[in-house]
Amino acid sequence: MNIAEKYRAESVSDLIISQRILDDIRNWLKLWDEGTPTKKGLILYGPPGSGKTTTALALAKESGVPLIEMNASETRNSDAMKRVAMMGSQYSDLTLMADHASGFNKIILIDEADNIFEGRSRETGGDSGGITELARVIRNTRNPIILTMNDFYGFRRKNAAKEIINNCLAIEFRQFRKKNDLDFRSFRHKLTERLIFIAQSEGLQFRPEIVDSLIERNRDDLRAIINDAVSMMAYRDDPEAVGQPSIRDAPSGIYDVMHATFKEGDYEGILRDLMDKDFTTEDYLMWLDKNLPMEAKDAADLDHAYDILSIADVFVGRVIKKQHYAYKGYAEEIAAGVSTGIAHHNEKYVKYEFPSYIMKMSRLRDSREGRKFATAKLARFTHSGRMRISGNLWFYGEMLKRKEFSAMLEKQLKG
C-alpha cells in the first residue's frame, strides 16, 4: 500500500488543512443540517494530493453518515450518473432517518468532476451527457454533494458547467498564500506532527528541520510530501542520508509559476520552475500579458514591464521563423525577469485570470467541431463531399430559413 494512502487522515482532527477552509465547509454542511442550504453542492478544487478527497471522507465520518463515491475510474455518462448519484442524492436510508430527520442522511462525492467529458459518444463508453445530468442531480438533490476538481478554471469553460457552478460553493484547496502568514505556520506545525508520527510508526529517524525543504519542493501537495519523507526508509542504515528529501521532480503549474514570477523575486527559482513546467512558453507569455495590469500599480511600471515582455515575444516569433527552438529558452529567461520592470508592486493578493486569447481559441474550437459535425450530416444527406458542403454553407443557411426545407432536413437527419 502507498504510504500516503496508509496514513490517510481518518478524522477531521487529523486533517492538514487551513482552519479557514474547514470552517467554510462546516458552515456549508450546517446549512444542510438545518435544511436551508443556499448552495446544494460544494466544489473543492486544487492540485492533486492537497487533501480534497480525504477531507470529504473525514467530514462524512464526523457527520455520522455514509459517503457514496463515484470516482474517476468509473464510466460517468448520463445513465451511470442517474443510477449512482440520483439514488444517493434523492432517496433516504430508513436506518438513518431518525438521526437526520431534518437534515441529510448521506454525502455524495463525485471525484475529479472536471474530468467528466460531455460530448464523447455512448458507443465508445464515454461520459456522454455526464455534466448535464450532474447539473440536474445537484438541482434536485436532497443530500449534500461534494465535487473535487484539479482544474476548476478549465471546468468553468465547458458549455454545460455553468449551472453546476451557480449551484455550488467553490472553495480553493490552497493551504497558504505566503510563507509568513498564519495559515503557513499552522500548515507547517500540523505537517511536522504528522511526519513525526509516520516516522515513529515506520521505525525511522526523522529530523523536523527538513520539513521546510519538503514544502519548498512540493508546496501543499501532501501526498508528495509524505511520499518524499518516507522514502528516507531507503537510507535507514545511513545516518548521513536520513532526513534528506528524495529527488522527485513534479511539474510546475501555471498558477505557481505566476506567483513566483510576480511575488517571490527568486529569478533562479523561476527558471527552475520553468524547466519543469506543464505548459508551453507561449502560454506563459500570454498569462503574463493578461495579468501584468493587475500587478503593476502605475503606467510607467506597466510600460517598462511590457517592453521586457515584448522582447521575449520577439524570440518566440523567431522560433518558427528560424526553426531554432533554443530561442524559447531565451524567451523564458527574459520573461521570467518581467517583474524587475515593476517598481511599485501590487502587494495585495491577485487572482490570476485565464488569458482571453486562449479562451477565445477554445470557444472557436467548439464552433469548428459543431461546423464539422453539421457538414458531415449535410454531406451524407446530399451525397456530397465535406469540402463542397463547407464551401456552400451559406446556401444551406438560406435554405434552412424555409420552413418546408428545414422540416424535411430535420426529419432526414434524425432518421
Residue 363 within a domain: no
Residue 205 near residue 199, CB atoms below 8 Å: yes
Exposed/middle/buried for 382, CB within 10 Å: 0-12, 13-18, 19+?
middle
As given in the structure block, the three cell numbers for residue 32 are: 444542510
Residue 106 near residue 67, CB atoms below 8 Å: yes
Q: Which long-range contacts (CB under 8 A, 24 or more apart) does 3-9 make?
A: 3/198, 3/202, 3/226, 3/227, 3/230, 4/49, 4/222, 4/223, 4/226, 4/227, 7/194, 7/197, 7/198, 7/201, 7/226, 8/54, 8/57, 9/51, 9/54, 9/58
3-state secondary structure of 241: coil
Query: 292 and 330 share a domain?
Result: yes
Residue 164 within a domain: yes
Residue 240 within a domain: no
Residue 7 within a domain: no
| Sign of the four-CA dihedral 339, 344, 348, 352 | negative
As given in the structure block, the three cell numbers for residue 139 are: 438541482
CA–CA distance, 415 with 406 (Å, rounded to integer): 14
Position 29 scores a pLDDT of: 93
- Domain residues for the domain of 228 are 182-235
Residue 133 near residue 76, CB atoms below 8 Å: no
As given in the structure block, the three cell numbers for residue 366 are: 467548439
Query: 270 and 400 share a domain?
Result: no
CA-nearest of 407, 397, 402 to 375 is: 397
Residue 177 within a domain: no
As given in the structure block, the three cell numbers for residue 173 are: 484547496
CA-nearest of 318, 309, 267, 319 to 288 is: 309
The alpha carbon of residue 22 and the mean position of all alpha carbons in its chain are separated, in whole angstroms, by: 19
Query: 283 and 226 share a domain?
Result: no
Query: 141 and 29 share a domain?
Result: yes
**Which pTM does this prediction carry?**
0.58
Query: 21 and 85 share a domain?
Result: yes
> Of the residues 307, 330, 354, which one is the last residue of a structural domain?
354
Direct distance between the N- and C-terminal alpha carbons of the chain, in angstroms, rounded to an integer = 53
Residue 222 within a domain: yes
Q: At what angle do helices 281-295 and 356-382 cross, to 10 degrees?
A: 130
CA–CA distance, 179 with 172 (Å, rounded to integer): 18
Residue 166 within a domain: yes
Query: 141 and 268 share a domain?
Result: no
Q: How many domains does the chain have?
A: 4
Query: 77 and 23 share a domain?
Result: yes
Query: 202 and 285 share a domain?
Result: no
Position 366 scores a pLDDT of: 60
CA-nearest of 361, 162, 157, 153 to 258 is: 153
The alpha carbon of residue 27 and the mean position of all alpha carbons in its chain are separated, in whole angstroms, by: 23
Query: 208 and 340 share a domain?
Result: no
Query: 33 and 137 share a domain?
Result: yes
Q: At what angle do helices 299-322 and 327-335 cross, to 10 degrees?
A: 170
Query: Tens digit of pLDDT per residue, the chain (415 long)?
Result: 577 888 888 898 899 999 999 999 999 999 998 888 899 999 999 888 889 999 999 999 998 999 988 875 555 566 766 666 556 555 555 344 444 444 688 899 998 888 876 654 444 444 456 788 888 889 888 889 999 998 888 888 887 788 999 999 999 988 887 777 788 888 888 988 888 888 888 888 777 777 887 787 777 788 888 887 877 544 544 444 444 544 454 455 788 888 889 988 888 888 888 887 778 899 899 999 999 999 988 899 999 999 999 999 999 998 878 878 888 889 999 999 999 888 888 888 788 888 877 666 666 666 666 777 778 877 877 788 878 877 777 787 787 788 887 787 777 666 5
Query: 156 and 192 share a domain?
Result: no
As given in the structure block, the three cell numbers for residue 141 are: 438533490
Residue 192 within a domain: yes
Position 88 scores a pLDDT of: 59
Query: 295 and 388 share a domain?
Result: no
